[in-house]
Amino acid sequence: MVNIQVEYQGDLHCKATHGPSATELNTDAPKDNRGRGESFSPTDLVATALGSCMLTIMGILARTLQIDISGATASVSKEMTATAPRRIQRLTVNIHVPRPISAEDREKFVRAAQTCPVHKSLHPEIEVPLRFTWG
């Protein structure tokens, strides 16, 4: 179990502290929802969690396969619903692996990304288009 302590600091800002490491993270409401957009919004963190989770699970697989995927990137575009209730509608993920990977291993990396715990935890109504570029 990991504990994360979150403190509301006023003016739509929060400070989160990661229990095991004491690392701090600040959030702000986005400009389109009464905030100043000075930091990640809570829903931005969902997009961030998805991209970093996919790359992490791919990294675990890469270790097993002894394939170097250093420099791989994930770009996640978050789209909110236009009507109430306000929620994430789509998280489009573009993953780039800068090294050549065999077709057989590419399939393994795609499956790994799709089975990351964050992806599996998202509500099924959230669309998650996933695109890869290789080499």
Question: From first to last of its 135 residues, what are the pLDDT tens digits of the chain?
Answer: 999 999 999 999 999 999 999 999 999 999 999 999 999 999 999 999 999 999 999 999 999 999 999 999 999 999 999 999 999 999 999 999 999 999 999 999 999 999 999 999 999 999 999 999 999
For residue 38, being part of any structural domain is answered with: no
Q: Are residues 112 and 55 in the same domain?
A: yes
Q: Are residues 24 and 53 in the same domain?
A: no
For residue 9, being part of any structural domain is answered with: yes
Q: Are residues 15 and 72 in the same domain?
A: no
Parent domain of 127:
43-134
Q: Reduced to 3 states, what is the DSSP secondary structure of residue 114?
A: helix
Q: Give pTM, 2 decimals.
A: 0.95
Q: Are residues 64 and 29 in the same domain?
A: no
Total domain count for the chain? 2
For residue 62, what pLDDT is reported? 98
